Structure formats: structure tokens, C-alpha cells
Structure 1
Amino acid sequence: MPSPLPSPWWRADTHRDRRPFLTARNAIKRDLRGWFEAEGFTEVEAAALQVSPGNEAHLHAFATEAISTAGARTPLYLHTSPEFAAKKLLAAGETKIFDFARVWRNRERGPLHHPEFTMLEWYRAGEPYEALMADGAALLALAAQTAETRALTWRGKTADPFAEPERLTLAEAFDANGIDLLATVQADGDTNRDALARAASAAGVRVAADDTWTDVFSRVLVEKIEPKLGLGRPTILCEYPICEAALARPTASDPRVAERFELYACGVELANAFGELTDPAEQRRRFVMEMDEKARVYGERYPLDEDFLAALAHMPPACGIALGFDRLVMLATGASRIEQVLWTPVAATD
């Protein structure tokens, strides 16, 4: 017999169990908003409907359409991030902005994933992306303080949110597993798939014959590296290969790597940050490559936002970061799955 369905979230007894997580969510959101306002940020609200939901190969959007009064139909998408709209605001003259954005991602559901969730995204014009590292550390500490906890927790793992984060490059993380990552990356972004595949296999990672360089890179990251990040204290994993940072600029010290970092705690990815790419031609080239890969793997592609590419030419140097707000609440409150910290979870379809 099939297992019984879980109680609906709207059942009084179920809601009663969830309510402490939800009220903590409200308190954390209030205090984080206060932090941004005290730091001189302006809160913005990006429109959810966009002509392009984003152009990353492995992100999947919800599609809809606009119907004009004359009956003309135009494809639209629910955004997977407020990034394109936020960067247009930077081009318009805003300098420090943040958004508690509702975003949608299809094909995503699990203890840490939900088809609709809240992304806290913020940008600093004219500042180095290292400024975002300090921001992220401050927000982890503030969330824990608001939740009245001394530790972030997830599935038996803990991290001290008040400790200075460890900083680790991708090259260092791969080297710890016996893999010389940057030996497989060229300055122009080209990669040596076979060299990475041989090194990954020697490190005990399964490699399939049709795996691309990115497939092998991702498998090493997920299997060998991510579970060890953010244990005891948060980890900043930085300097991603340029081919794994479609919206980030190269570092000044090494063109093979980009100004990209991710923030981890308890083995959970919490945030993804960039020193923003502002070259429209290079951004277009990268988007086309991403959509070519999406078409190869999934048989579909999303349109480019030409308005966004035009705005890039007017955007100042900036850095930006997206933090999974629901995940932060989970770790600060000790919740075991994302539905516990969402006021009205989306019903499961399978």
C-alpha cells in the first residue's frame, strides 16, 4: 500500500508545530531589513515577470504569456533571480540596493529546495566583491542572534555563525583531493575535459564517457568538497574557474578564475556572489554558450534579455550576491526541511 500523505500545512495541529519557525522567520527578516537600512541600502522590488528568466544552462523556469488587449500573445517567465532587473537599476543610478525577492525554479524540490522561495539579493556599486564576504558574515551572525542561538545546524552538522569564515579557493579545495584544477583551465576559458576526468577518476569519482568538463567539475564539488564546507565555522569558497561564473568578471591576478564566491554553513550553500561582469559583448557570448548547453542537454533555450544587455553598457563596476533566505532561517532555527519555514508551501505534484 502507498504511504499516507503528510498532513496538509493548513491543519491546525500541523500549523501549530510550524508556527515557531514562521515567527522566527518574520523576526529574522525584520532584523536583516533593519541592517540593510542602517547600512544605507535602498529596498527595491523586482518584477517577477520577465522576458528572460535567466540564462544558466541548468536552471529551469516557469513559463507563461502576456495577452494584449488586441489578443497578441508574448511569452514571459517567472524570474529565477531578480538579477537582471537589479542590474538595470544600477545602470539607472542606484548604488546600494537589496530585495527580498520571491523567485521560482522548476524541477527543484527537496529538503533544501522548493519551487517558490525567497532570495535575498543585494548589490554594491563601486565596491570590491570582498565587501560582500563581510556582509554575509554579518548577516549569519545577526540571524543567529535574532533566533537566540549560538550555532547554525543542519542534519547533525554545526557552524559557529559568530566565527570569522574560512576562505578557501576552488583550486585549494580540489588540490586537497589530489586534483590540479587550474591545470585543466586555460586563460581564454577553454578546458581540458580528459585531464580533469583522469584526475577525478584517480580521486575515486565516477566519470561517464559522455561527461563534459563541467559535469566532472560538478561531481567532484558535490561529492568531495561541499559536504566538508562550513563545518565548525562558515566557509567562503572563492575564485571559481571562469567557465563556472557566467556573470562574473575575471580576477585581476589570474584570468583563469573569476570573482565568484559561495558562502557555506553546515555543508549547505547559502549564498552566491559575483564581482559583476559589465561587458555586454562578453556577456552575450557567455549567455549563448549557456543556452547552447541547455539546448544540448534539455532540448530548450530561453531568450536573451536584450534590454539587460543594453543596460550593462551603462552599469557601473559593482558586486552582487544572492542569499537563500529560507535556508538561512532553516539553519538558524534548526528546521529540518524548507517547508517548515515557508508560510504556505507549494503543494507537491508527485
Structure 2
Amino acid sequence: MQEASPWWSKSRHADRRPWLAARARIRRAVAAWFEADGFTEVECPALQVSPGNEAHLHAFETDVFGPDGIARRRYLHTSPEFSMKKLLAAGERRIFDFARVYRNRERTALHHPEFTLLEWYRAGEPYERLMQDCAALLTLASETAGTRLWRWRGREADPCAAPERLTVADAFRRFAGLDLLATLGADGTPDRERLAAAARAAGHRIADDDTWTDVYSRILVDRVEPNLGLGRATVLYEYPACEAALSRRTPRDPRVAERFELYICGVELANAFGELTDPVEQRRRFEEEMAEKERVYGERYPIDEDFLSALAVMPEASGIALGFDRLVMLATGAPRIDDVLWVPVEG
């Protein structure tokens, strides 16, 4: 089989250039939309004390040498979240960033080791406001790209249609035949045996060493996500609290948290939170995540103590990270994320 020509070959670049030109137009339109709504664009540094403390995210690391010649371990951030929340603590109210972020062990048609997250925060506003933002940005990207119907691997959706809102519990009941909330204690503690039994009864295969999260994640990926964002976008909200380490619990039910994800054409596009601002609770969740990371991968990342200090004075806020490259890919009809990156990472 003949090897594909490199991205910089004139013929391949000519094929990609319409998508890249659309990327530039969408970026300008999105920035203008935020600025018109009173947002300030910020720029967060990639090098951090901690890349984030989620068990299944993998970072790139390096050493920074100071004038004293001592090496200090630093990481390329997986999200600008910690820096942006520090800016909220400093007094900013509405901010956004087109952040270049880095995640190791990720490369597929939808994943790239270096990519752009469009991340924004609203201080003093509920996370439902971010759902409205998402609907507006889908329409804006569609109009800017000139595409009315988005397609991805046989799935179609109208990006201008009002998104469906579906709780995680309702999605598991509808697509997997499971009562997910029945597998959570009154305080949100997951019951592995109850979920495993319910999953087996519904016909799902469960391994003896699967944790509650393993079972939950497999069913979410295999049964739920392929059915989301068909015909129109889906806002999947109220995640189990144990699957939302950076968000606060909902006032009406401590088993679930103020977290939602945006899907269209079966593709996850954004992840949002009603932000947790309790540093004690946040530390506990980080430590749990890092214990799980060490169990599964044999490594852990440090906790950013400066971030926890800032969290103590950060105002109530809502925040969201949207995969900008995926947005462009869907809006333009490009088949792979590499096709909408000016210079893909080689290898």
C-alpha cells in the first residue's frame, strides 16, 4: 500500500486548505461573539506544576532549570482550567481562552496529542447558561462554515436545532436498560456489586475485576454515546458525583453533580461544570483520582497547592471546555482532526 503524502505536500495542503481557511473564519467569529458578550480573552501558560488530576488523562512532562541549576519537574497542561480559575480568584468575571493543550496516549480520528481547547468561565452564573452558549456557538460555526447539516461516520445532525437535554440517568435507562441512580448510595457513593448485577441482568458483559467506574464507562461508551446528538445536539447532564471531580453536587440530589457534556453526531464536543469551590473537598477528590491513577497506571501527578489556595477565594462560577478542532471538523465536514490542524504533530 502506498504511503500517504506528507501534510506539507502541495497537493495535500491544497486539499486541506478550504478547511483551514474555515477554521480561521470560525475562530474570528467565535472570538467576536465572546467579546460582544463582555468576555475578555486570556492566555494561559502551558507549563504547570500539575497538568491536572484526572485518573485517565496522561500528560507530557519536562524539567525546568532555574538560575540555581536545580531541575524542577513541570508538565504541559491538559487544560487551562487551573490557571483560569486563578484568574477568577484574581477578580476576572467572564474570560475565554483558545488554549493549546497536550494529552499523551491520544491519537485517533478525533484525538491529537496537541490540540486547541476553547475554554470559558462565567462567574456568578449557573451552568445552565453554558448550555445556551453551546447552542449559540453551534449555530455560529454552522453559519460561518456555510454548512446546514453536519455529518460524521453515517450520523447526521442539524447544528441550528435546539439541543435535546437528557440526564445521564435517563440516558442509561433509555439506551442500556439500567437504573443507574439505584447503584449510588444516598451520598453518591458508588455500589460496584449493585451496578455489576444490574448490568449483567441487562445483558452487559462484566469482568470480575471491573470497578464501578469501569462498568459505568464501558456502558457509556458502548451503549449511550453512539445514540447522542443524532438529528440535533444533545446536552447530557447531571453526571454521577463520583464522575465529576471538579464540579459541585446538585442541590436537589447529592448523588449527581452539575456537569454536562455536549454531543453532536455521536461526537463529544464539550465538557462543562458548575465549579466546585471547596478546597478541602477538591483535595479529597484529587487524592482519590491520583490513587486510582496509581492503581491503574503506576504513576500519579502532584497537586497544585497554589490552585487550592486560589479556590478558597474564587467566586461561584461555571466553566466549560470545548474541543475547537472537533467543532471545526464537524462544521466543515473534514474526516479527521488532523485535516483541520495547520501543522499536525508528526509520528
| TM-score tier after normalising by the smaller chain length | over 0.9
Q: Which residue of 2 aligns with 1:234?
A: 233
Match of 2:116 in 1: 118
Equivalent position of 1:308 in the other structure: 307
Instruction: State the 1:35 CA deviation.
Output: 0.2
How far apart are 1:4 and its partner, in Å?
3.8
* Unaligned runs of at least 5 residues, structure 1: none
What is the CA–CA distance in structure 2 between the aligned matches of 1:171 and 1:80, rounded to whole Å? Answer: 28
Cα-to-partner distance string for 1:21-47 (whole Å, 9 max, x where unaligned): 100000000100000000000000011
Matched, 1:186 2:185: yes
Cα distance in 2 for partners of 1:67, 1:100 equals 28
- 2:264 counterpart residue number: 265
Q: Deviations over 1:35-75 (max 9, x none)?
A: 00000000000110000000000000000010012210000
Q: CA deviation at 1:96?
A: 0.1
Rounded to whole Å, the distance in 1 between the matches of 2:28 and 2:57 is 30
Does structure 2 retain, via aligned residues, the 8 Å contact 1:81–1:103? yes
Read off the aligned partner of 2:254 and give its amino acid letter. Answer: P
The 3-state SS of whatever aligns with 2:273 is strand
1:332 aligns with 2:334: no
The one-letter amino acid paired with 1:123 is Y
Distance of 1:82 and 1:188 partners within structure 2: 30
SS of the aligned residue for 2:159 comes to coil
Q: Please give the secondary structure, in 2, of the residue aligned with 1:131.
A: helix
Superposed CA deviations along residues 288-320 of structure 1, whole A, max 9, x for unmatched, are 000000000000000000000000000000000
- Range 128-137 or range 195-204, more displaced: 195-204
- Residues 1-350 of structure 1 correspond to what in structure 2 (within 5 A)? 3-176=1-174, 177-348=176-347
How many Å apart are 1:200 and its aligned residue? Answer: 1.6
Shift of 1:165: 0.4
CA distance in 1, matches of 2:186, 2:269: 29
Percent of residue pairs identical: 70
Mapped to 2, the partners of 1:64 and 1:6 lie a distance apart of 32
CA shift for structure 1 position 157:
1.0
What are the Cα deviations for residues 185-217 of structure 1, in whole angstroms up to 9, with x where unaligned?
Answer: 123331111111122223332211111000000
TM-score calculated relative to the size of structure 2 = 0.99
1:256 match: secondary structure: strand
Q: 1:7 deviation in Å?
A: 1.2
Letter in 1 for 2:14: R
Code of the aligned partner of 1:16 = A
Given the two structures, how large is their TM-score scaled by the length of structure 1?
0.98
Instruction: State the alpha-carbon separation in 2 of the partners of residues 297 and 187 from structure 1.
Output: 27
SS of equivalent to 1:314: coil
Aligned residue pair count: 346
Amino acid across the alignment from 2:293: K
The one-letter amino acid of 1:96's match is R
Structure 1 window deviating more from structure 2 (155-164 vs 293-302): it is: 155-164
SS of residue paired to 2:257:
coil
Residues in 2 aligned to 1:155 and 1:178: alpha-carbon distance in whole angstroms: 25
Q: Distance in 2 between matches of 1:43 and 1:341?
A: 22
Tell me if the contact between 1:53 and 1:61 (Cα under 8 Å) persists in the aligned partners: yes
Output the CA distance in 1 between the equivalents of 2:289 and 2:242: 10
Classify the secondary structure of the residue corresponding to 1:239: strand
Instruction: Say which SS state the counterpart of residue 38 (structure 2) adopts.
Output: coil
What letter is aligned with 1:214? Answer: T
Q: Partner of 1:221: helix, strand, or coil?
A: helix
Q: Is the 8 A contact 1:103 1:117 kept in 2?
A: yes
- The amino acid across from 2:198 in the alignment is A
| CA–CA distance in structure 2, aligned partners of residues 27 and 121 of structure 1 | 18
